[in-house]
Structures are given as C-alpha cells and as structure tokens.
Amino acid sequence: MSGLSRRDFLRAVGIGGAGIVLAACAPAAVPSGGGGAAAPSQATQKLVVASFYAVDQTAGWTGLVEQFEQDHPNIKVETQVTPWEEYLPKILTQIAANTPPDVLGVENTPFIQFVRKNVLLDLTPLLDADQVFKATDFFPKLIGRYTVDGKVWGIPYDVQPICCLFYNKDHFDAAGVAYPTDQWRSGDLLAAAQALTVTEGGRISQYGFHLGETAVDRNLFVYSNGGAVADSVEVPKRATFTNPKTIEGVQFWADLIHQHKVAPSPGFFRQGGMGSSDLFATGRLSMFVGGYWELVFAPDKFSQVPFGMQIAPAGSDGTRGYATGGTAYCASQTTKNQESAWEFIKYFMGMPGYKAAFAAARNGIIYPPAYIPAYESEVYLKNPNPPVENLHINGDAAEYAWFTPHHENWVELRNTVIIPETELIGNGEKTVEEALAVMQAAAEKVFAAN
C-alpha cells in the first residue's frame, strides 16, 4: 500500500473506578483464537502490540504497561513499532507466516484497508458479552468510524478533532486584540490575524495565523464552510471537490497566504525544516490550529510562550466542521492470544489504562480519551492542574468531526494527488480551481474503479 504520510499519522465522570479495574482484569468469557490464551497458572505469555508510530514513547505508556503487567503477572507486553510505509505489508507478511501481532494500532484513514484485508478480529461479540466495557461509552462518531458492515473492528483510543486554536497571549496583549472566544467565526480569525501579523524591513517577522493541516480533505475551512470532498463519508460514490462550498473554503485558506499575507506557505515550512509548534515556540507565530497532540508531543515548546487554547472558529454562517485525527486499537484476526489481547485493549482504552498513563505522564498531559468515563474524569476534563484552559473543546468538537471518506484507495489518493495539489495552491503555483479540478478527476477515477 501507499502509506499515509507521517504528518497525517503523527498529526494521536464519576463512575465506579474499582468496578472498571475488576472488569478489565477479569478474563473475558469468550473462546480464545488459535491456540488460546494462557491460563493464569501457566508460564509467562508474550503479548505483541504493534503500532505505526512510537507508541512506546507516548506520554504515560511506560507506566501503563508496568501497571498492566503488575495486574497481569503472567503477561509480558512487547512493543513492535514499524515505519508507516512498511506497516500494513509487514502485518500481512506476519499473518502469512502465522506470527501475527496480538494487538494493532490503526489510524482512522487507512482503517478500512485493514478490515477489507481481513487483518482484524470482529470485536462485536466481545463488547456484547462485557458487562462494563461498552461501545456506548465512546464518542459516537469515533466508535462509528471503526464500525464497518455493522461490526466493531477497533476501539477508539483518543478524541482529537483538529479543533485546537493555540494562541500566544503576549502577542494579543501587545496588539490590543481580545483573546479568541468560542463565538469566533472565520471573519474574526482573519481580523485578528491581520492585527497580529508584523512586517519588518519588507519581511514578515511574525505571522498572525497558520493552519496546521491544510490538505483539502482535512482542511478546517472546507468543513466549516459547509463543503466536503465526497457525497458520503461511510459509502463514498461521488467526489465533491468542485462543489462551490468546497472551492470557497479552500479559497479562504489560500487568501490567508497570498492575498492577506497573514499565514506562511507550505514551502516556508519545507525550507525552514520546522513545524507549527516550532514557529509558535519561537514567537514568530501568533495563532495556529492543530490537534491536541501538538501539546502532548511538545510540552517544552509550548512552555516557552504564555499560550491559550480555544475551539477553532466556525464558518461565516456559524457552521462547524473539524477534520479529525485518531487511532483505534484492534486485535489481530489470527492472534493466538485472543483473550489476553482483548484484556489489554480494554485496559489500555479503559479507565485503568488512562489512570496509569496519567500518573506516569509528564505533567499529566495525555491524549484526550475517547472513552467517555475517562474523558470526564480527573485524568482529563476534571484534571485539578490542567495544562491549558478549555480542555472540553476536544469532546465538544467531536460532534462536528469529519473523517476522510472510508475508501480503500483514499490513502493513495491523498498521498499522490490531494496533498501535492494542495501544496501547489499554498505555494501559489496553481489556482484553487485548477488544483481542485485535478483532485476531482482523480477521485472520480478511484470511485469508478470500485
């Protein structure tokens, strides 16, 4: 397969906690796949957890695994990290050799590929049999993404719409601009960006705004303008890149760069070898929209500036729409340790895992849990020492989340057409209409082939 770009991968209540821990630790009442899971009295069992990103370096991972192994002394977790472009081919090779990983992390965009290639185990019977861990405990759109043909194939890990407007408070104070509010619309963003942009000696020394994810199928201004890239996310049959609302949304983004000159071009970042948080940390960027993972990945960078966080603005008519990141954890269809794999998934995605990760994470900064009881608990929303205000925006924005179309060839389409053509727009090498026409034709060919 043509892998999803690294940028896209790496760009993630008060209920009876004791009851959850007991449920997570108790063996699932289901038959094990293959040779079956090791009984508690048997020798140590190795459980392989595969990921396309360095999950073993994720905030709180070490503490989570240590606690899981302490609670399950006969299970030893082994992490298998594979570069994104090699991930699915390696998994398929392992399955053919009868040496599959037991648990897999799968990003939401290529998820359908893993389902259609029979890599994943149907988790529906396990969820139905569990008395505590339920599909209804997850944000609906997230669990819905990993439900295909009426079956649940993955459990969502994080709720991370690309909805976080990070801003430098000092810049706003110096410019006499009021901080962003949840009532902002795209016009308010533009006005603030114009006031915050600083030009010295004919060169921009401080940009007012940057959109972290610009690819048209994940572009904030497309969805907040009422646009879309296909007629359906779940069963796409017709491309809509040339829909007037889509064109208008992309044009708004392009104008921020070329007409208003308040935002850097994609080429600026390629030449400088830096990302959004780098520019933000050095005081050369006043605002940017990204996922909460930006803060989780680089808390030291954010600590260099007095920053705030607010939900990214709605469109001019109040429409909200946010592309979303997010990963699901799944069991291999051919795992020989089905029972243990399910126990780990429940632990990792449930309250015990989040509590352990929160306790071990630096400053308690972890990914926003997709598991609502954890999301609404002290490990996130009720954190007594929150790393930033307005943590609730991730869950709020989940209601307006947009996934890329669920199509087996979408990853290849975005890598070979959508991302390159978007960059041509951002660098001023093509007009919006020209580039979207290319995307439209390519997407129609993909849909027609199926």
pLDDT tens track for 437-448: 999 999 999 999
Report the alpha-carbon distance of residue 404 to residue 177 in Å, rounded: 35
Report the alpha-carbon distance of residue 110 to residue 67 in Å, rounded: 31
- What's residue 383's pLDDT? 95
On whether the CB atoms of residues 307 and 168 are closer than 8 A, the answer is yes
CB neighbours of 391 closer than 8 A, spacing ≥ 6?
368, 380, 381, 383
Which pair of tokens denotes residue 417? 């057409």
Report the alpha-carbon distance of residue 156 to residue 165 in Å, rounded: 23
| Region of residue 236 (left: phi > 0; alpha: psi -120 to 50; beta: else) | beta
pLDDT at 35 over 80: no
Q: pLDDT tens, 183-231? A: 999 999 999 999 999 999 999 999 999 999 999 999 999 999 999 999 9
- What's residue 85's pLDDT? 87
- What's residue 271's pLDDT? 79
Separation in Å, CA 12 to CA 183, 296, 367: 27, 9, 7
Identify the band that residue 42 occupies on the pLDDT scale cut at 50, 70 and 90. Answer: low
Mean pLDDT of all residues belonging to the chain: 90
Report the alpha-carbon distance of residue 26 to residue 252 in Å, rounded: 53
Model confidence, pTM: 0.88
> What average pLDDT does this structure show over 399-425?
97
> What average pLDDT does this structure show over 1-17?
33
- Ordered by where they begin, the domains of the chain are 6-160+325-402 (3.40.190.10), 164-321+409-449 (3.40.190.10)
